[in-house]
Amino acid sequence: MQQGNIAIEVKGLSKDFDVSESGKGFSGKLKALFHRRRKIITAVDAIDFEINRGEFVGYVGENGAGKSTTIKMLTGILVPTSGSAEVNGIIPFKERKKNAAKIGVVFGQRTQLWWDLPVRESFDLLRVIFRVSQPDFNSQIKKLDKALGLDPLMNMPVRKLSLGQRMRCDIAASLIHNPPVLFLDEPTIGLDVLAKESIRNFLTEINRDEGTTIILTTHDMNDIEQLCKRLIILEEGKIMYDGETELLKQKFIHEKVIEVEFHDDGNVIQGIPGVTVVREQGCKTWLTFDNDNYGIGDVIGTIASRYEIKDISVNEPSVESIIRNIYNTRVTRATPSEESRNK
């Protein structure tokens, strides 16, 4: 096996789906039986990226952007239409078994465990399937139990677990063979805040302590902000951003929002270069200012010297609002109401 620094290498990777459309209603369906209208849908469109060992990468995009399709190609489930992919130096769809031994996979929507069996038996079976020795298995389970609190769940049938409990067990199951690369497809979907928190803490831990490379798809931007240093944003099968999560803000935010509170109402802010008033309500005024051409210090200084203010704050837009804006309009314009909601 290749022991280089690169965990995943993707070049010009594409996947087309051949979708046959059926018409509306019974007659349409009947027609479709004889007369198939075929449509090619490009779910993933010639993407390139490299992921180094030990990275924690967020892979996001709207529904249908091609996130899961990419994950499925990297895990060997789907054969790419064109392009190449290597995971741990292995071509996933050509050497499925070899690839499977070196990756962990969690699909949030679907369990990897045996529905009717106690968790312990699923784990035992996975131990056998992944050819993990008994001592290695025992120490790994001990570690996972400590971090994820599995012990009380071990003898329960999987179908009786709550979603949060099941997800903890599913993540543990994907790590029984201690894989160097872990794929998580929406692992926090449908979980409550506490369950999300415990899973996030655990993921941070294994990424830091074991150096596990993690690729995470999610719709929860808090996952991304708390976990992923690097972010890849996918749109209609193409990568539209690949870089540090922090830098996303610099790249896409050209305006910042300033919230000013006066002692009494009736104050009107005007005549400050680069500043636009967005909303006024009672004693409060929301402004946006051109982040690229004017310094924040100057703007605040000018406002403070001209007006009697009670409070002033600058709001950093959340990653979620940035991405939402990218999706919606591709013109980043954080509105005050959005900002106060996301604070």
Partner 1 sequence: MESIKIYLTLFTTSMKARMEYKASFLFYIFAILTFYAGQFGLLFILLNRFHEIKGWSVGEMVFLYSLQAFAFGFTNLIFSQLVNFDKMIVDGEFDRVLVRPLSPLGQVIFSKFEVSTAAHLIIGSTALYFGSRYGNIDWTFYKVVLFPVIITGGVLIAGGIRLMVTAVAFWTLRNRSLVHTVIFSSKEFINYPVNIYNVGMQFFLTFIFPIAFINFYPAHFFLDRSGTGLLHPLLEMGTPIVGLIVTTVSIFSWKAGVNHYQSTGS
Q: Which residues bind partner 1 (CB under 8 A)?
A: 17, 63-64, 68, 72, 75-79, 93, 96-98, 100-101, 103, 105, 107, 109-110, 112, 114-117, 121, 125, 128-131, 157, 186
CB of 131 to partner 1, least distance (A): 7
Judged by CB, which is closer to partner 1: 33, or 193?
33
Judged by CB, which is closer to partner 1: 24, or 131?
131
CB of 118 to partner 1, least distance (A): 10
Judged by CB, which is closer to partner 1: 173, or 203?
173
d(CA 214, CA 171): 12
Question: In this structure, what DSSP letter does residue 236 have?
Answer: T
CB of 42 to partner 1, least distance (A): 14
Does residue 100 sit in helix, strand or coil?
helix
CB of 159 to partner 1, least distance (A): 9
Place of tokens 């599913």: 170
- Of 312, 295, 315, 294, the residue nearest 303 (C-alpha): 312
Region of 25 on the Ramachandran plot (φ > 0 left; ψ -120 to 50 alpha; else beta) = left
CB of 250 to partner 1, least distance (A): 32
3-class secondary structure per residue, 27-93? HHHHHHHHCCEEEEEEEEEEEEEEEECCCEEEEEECCCCCHHHHHHHHCCCCCCCEEEEEECCECCC
Place of tokens 């009380």: 152
Judged by CB, which is closer to partner 1: 71, or 323?
71
d(CA 36, CA 105): 36
Judged by CB, which is closer to partner 1: 69, or 288?
69
CB of 89 to partner 1, least distance (A): 16
Judged by CB, which is closer to partner 1: 5, or 20?
20
